[in-house]
Amino acid sequence: MIGLFTFLSSQGQTGDIPTAYTKKWNTIGPPTGTLMIIGGAASQDNWHYFMELVGDPEALIVFIPTAGSTFDETHTGYISLLEAGAKNVSILHTKDRNEANTEAFAAPLRKAKAVFMAGGFQSRLAAAYLNTLTHRLMFEILERGGVIAGSSAGASIQGSYLYGGLQGGVGAQYVGLGFVKNSAIGQHYIRRNRMGSVAKILKNQPDLFGFGVDEATAAVVRGNELEVVGEGKVALYDTKRPEYTDQPQLYLFPGDKYDMAVRRITHKADPVPQDMWTGGGKKQWKNPADSWQTVGPPQGRLLLYGSVKADSASIRHFLQSLGTFQDPIVVLSTGNHDMRAENQQVVAELRKLGADRVSSLHTIDSDMANSQAFASALDKAKAVWICDSRSWQLADVYLYTLVHKKLFEVLRRGGILGSNGDGAAIMASRLFGEPESYRWHTGYGLVRNTLIVKAPQNRKTLSDMQGILDKNMKLQGIVLDEDAKVVIEKNRVKVEGNKGIRIYQSGEKEPVIVPSGESYGLGLE
């Protein structure tokens, strides 16, 4: 802590405010009041939940935008608060620690019921507010039973160790506001593929309790209890857990509760599967496509649709390709409640068109995707429609699971897999369409040495794709135009529908254009 003392002394501050308050606690989180720790990209439901915690639309809420670059009423977080029903919001912002330590600046916090810290760079929040009067008055809000909330940077800053502090920083660069004792808090955790980043911190700080919160998801902390609300999941890291070395991450899902003092789950909203397939996971995965002598499936067919939405024409073509309306069809999806409801429209459309045996599989839990009971619907399926869910979630939930394995088995039985949008993109071996920096690069591998680009595209999309191809000489890119209907089997791609496709090869400046009604060889015949 010498670096911390030096940093604070240079700013005219010497008090350790978190310790002054938390040494009186017999809990990990605040014994009174509530923390709402949102993993970024706060949803409308997150904002409404925050207002429910506040309990009074007329109560004073202090909004702190310091981590970002917009500091007035045009901030999207400020606007979201008003849209969620807040009537009394005061903006508090400074980059000057000396100002943050004055009564004139911090005074609104004395009457506030809640604080919301917006996203950006958490180090800016630490630099401006750590161990100032502003910081102390936040603890007093909790003592009055109030709410401290934050999203993204405003989530990480609530830990005692500052996740995402400046590289090479000393002292306060890695010290958070300490509303959760002995903790490191990650954000944008699944969406930006940051799994393992908290574990790296715990490698050097094994006594910390770590957790990473996904986007549009919140860890709500009261005393020792951590509850998950929102759309996604929270990854927990406890080095004292016996299984930690082999499986450092323990996931909680919406409705789950966890006791941070005794380090155990106290409530599961959904039962834990007891029939797990043991071949799941990247390390154990045996890729069925390794034995293929073809680019596409040697048995069965893939149907790719360029339509932006899963429209009636695409679903009708999918059903007609099956040849009979009596064969079992599974609709596979993931995502939040809204996406689940949207994907159920595919089920409804299939039934409307005459399909007799349609079932749906939906989860955000990869453990569930490894459940024998959950995946059993695929055992007799003749066709699977992979919904246009977010491609990163399709990868996070189903990649290297029993469901993934059974998709190959559907093809081996001569079945068909169909999709549009992200559901089409995920079928490729190289996933494309996510920001490259997030590293969601692995698809289901149902088309080997290929990436699939959904419609619509722009010049940047094609340039990014070409850059990937130039670095991976064995890859080829299939670009879907809207209204294209594409059939892939063995080494051939056949184009149906009203539009064609473009096929890009590494080192080639111009694509091969395959018009509707034509076929193209993807590999050796």
* Residues 508, 381 share a domain: yes
Domain boundary (189, 206, 225) is at: 225
What backbone torsions phi and psi does residue 177 show, to the nearest 5 degrees?
A: -75, -15
Q: What is the pLDDT of residues 329-366, one digit of tens each?
A: 999 999 998 999 999 999 999 999 999 999 999 999 99
Q: What count of other Cβ atoms lies within 10 Å of the Cβ of residue 478?
A: 27
CB distance 113 to 141 below 8 Å: yes
Short-list 430, 394, 410, CA closest to 302: 410
Note whether residue 236 is domain-resident.
no
Q: How far is CA 349 from the centre of its chain?
A: 28
Note whether residue 230 is domain-resident.
no
CB distance 221 to 256 below 8 Å: no
Note whether residue 250 is domain-resident.
no
Short-list 171, 164, 76, CA closest to 118: 76
* Residues 454, 363 share a domain: yes
* Residues 221, 306 share a domain: no
Q: What pLDDT, on the 0 to 100 scale, is given for residue 11?
A: 41
**What is the torsion angle, in degrees rounded to the nearest 10, for the CA atoms of residue 386, residue 390, residue 395 and residue 401?**
-50
Domain boundary (225, 259, 279) is at: 225
Note whether residue 243 is domain-resident.
no
Note whether residue 239 is domain-resident.
no
Pairing of strands 257-259, 159-161: unpaired
Domain boundary (225, 244, 261) is at: 225
CB distance 426 to 453 below 8 Å: no
* Residues 124, 39 share a domain: yes
Q: What is the pLDDT of residues 218-251, one digit of tens each?
A: 999 999 999 999 999 999 999 999 999 989 999 9
* Residues 202, 336 share a domain: no
**pTM tops 0.85:** yes
* Residues 165, 48 share a domain: yes
What backbone torsions phi and psi does residue 373 show, to the nearest 5 degrees?
A: -65, -45
* Residues 328, 194 share a domain: no
Query: Which pLDDT tens digits describe the chain residue by residue (525 residues)?
Result: 333 333 343 344 448 999 999 999 999 999 999 999 999 999 999 999 999 999 999 999 999 999 999 999 999 999 999 999 999 999 999 999 999 999 999 999 999 999 999 999 999 999 999 999 999 999 999 999 999 999 999 999 999 999 987 644 444 568 999 999 999 999 999 999 999 999 999 999 999 999 999 999 999 999 999 999 999 999 999 999 999 998 999 999 999 999 999 999 999 999 889 999 999 899 999 999 999 999 999 999 999 999 999 999 999 999 999 998 999 999 999 999 899 999 999 999 999 999 999 999 999 999 999 999 999 999 999 999 999 989 999 999 999 999 999 999 999 999 999 999 999 999 999 999 878 889 999 999 999 999 999 999 999 999 999 999 999 999 999 999 999 999 999 999 999 988 999 999 988 889 999 999 999 999 754
Note whether residue 259 is domain-resident.
no
CATH (domain of 28):
3.40.50.880
Task: Tell me which residue range forms the domain holding 486.
Answer: 298-521
DSSP of 432-493, one letter per residue?
A: -SS-GGG---B---SBTTEEEEPSP--HHHHHHHHHHHHH-TT-EEEEEPTTEEEEEETTEE
* Residues 449, 348 share a domain: yes
* Residues 220, 92 share a domain: yes
Q: What is the pLDDT of residues 450-463, one digit of tens each?
A: 999 999 999 999 99
Note whether residue 291 is domain-resident.
no
* Residues 211, 62 share a domain: yes
Q: What pLDDT, on the 0 to 100 scale, is given for residue 6?
A: 35
Q: What pLDDT, on the 0 to 100 scale, is given for residue 297?
A: 98
Please count the structural domains in the chain: 2
Residue 323's Cβ-side half-sphere holds a number of Cα atoms within 13 Å equal to 5
Q: Give, in order, the Cα–Cα distances in Å from 319 to each of 51, 377, 496.
A: 46, 18, 15
CB distance 479 to 468 below 8 Å: no
Note whether residue 120 is domain-resident.
yes
* Residues 214, 334 share a domain: no
Q: In what order do the strands lie in the sheet with 450-453?
A: 450-453, 476-480, 501-505, 512-514
Run of H or E residues at 26:
none
Q: State how far the Cα of 160 lies from the Cα of 175, in Å rounded to an integer.
A: 6
Q: What pLDDT, on the 0 to 100 scale, is given for residue 173?
A: 63
* Residues 101, 190 share a domain: yes
Q: What pLDDT, on the 0 to 100 scale, is given for residue 506?
A: 85
Q: Give, in order, the Cα–Cα distances in Å from 170 to each of 54, 121, 309, 435.
A: 36, 16, 50, 31
Token pair 């308050």: residue: 21
